[in-house]
Amino acid sequence: MYGVVLWSDARSNKAVFWCEDHGDLAYFQGDPATVNQTTSCFDAGDLVQFEVYHEAKLRKALNPKVVRSKADADLPNKLLRHSAGITRKQTGGEVLPFRPKAAPPVEFRHRGQA
């Protein structure tokens, strides 16, 4: 699978990839002890290739390798700008209102509550 790095943290050796199939994001978590603390393996916008597996309902990345550095360094900002312009009607259905809960019995109320 190919993907673009959206976020990474060199100290914890973690990254999030936007996948070429536009499905779920892939999460990478390597061994923090194997990372050079002065440089990051991945930067936002890097094109990476990796294997995919699923664990606990998450798509995870295995053996990621940078194919092209800074292939789209502005991609995370482009996605943020695009999502800021999306209205509720474009993102889905109606949110059901919650009914107010009845007040708890007096013996369960915290001090200072009426």
pLDDT tens digits for range 67-98: 998 888 787 788 778 877 766 555 566 666 66
Assign domain 2-73 to a CATH class.
Answer: mainly beta
Query: Distance (Å, rounded) from C-alpha 44 to C-alpha 7?
Result: 6
pLDDT top residue among 108 and 47: 47
> If you ran DSSP here, which 8-state letter would residue 80 be given?
H
Residue closest to 2 by CA, chosen among 57, 84, 68: 68
- Whether the full predicted model's pTM is greater than 0.85, yes or no, is no
As a whole number of angstroms, the longest Cα–Cα distance in the chain is: 64
Q: Where are the domains of the chain?
A: 2-73
56: left (phi > 0), else alpha (psi -120 to 50), else beta? left
- Asked whether the beta carbons of 56 and 24 are under 8 A apart, the reply is no
**pLDDT interval class at 38 (50, 70, 90):** very low
Q: Compute CA distances 11 → 22, 40, 60, whole Å.
A: 28, 8, 19
- Beta pairing class for 58-68 and 26-29: parallel
Distance from C-alpha of 45 to C-alpha of 78, rounded to nearest angstrom: 11
Most confident of 10-24, 27-41, 100-114: 10-24
How would DSSP label each residue in 23-66?
SS-EEEE--GGGS-TTS-S--TT-EEEEEEEEETTEEEEEEEEE
Residue 61 pLDDT more than 90? yes
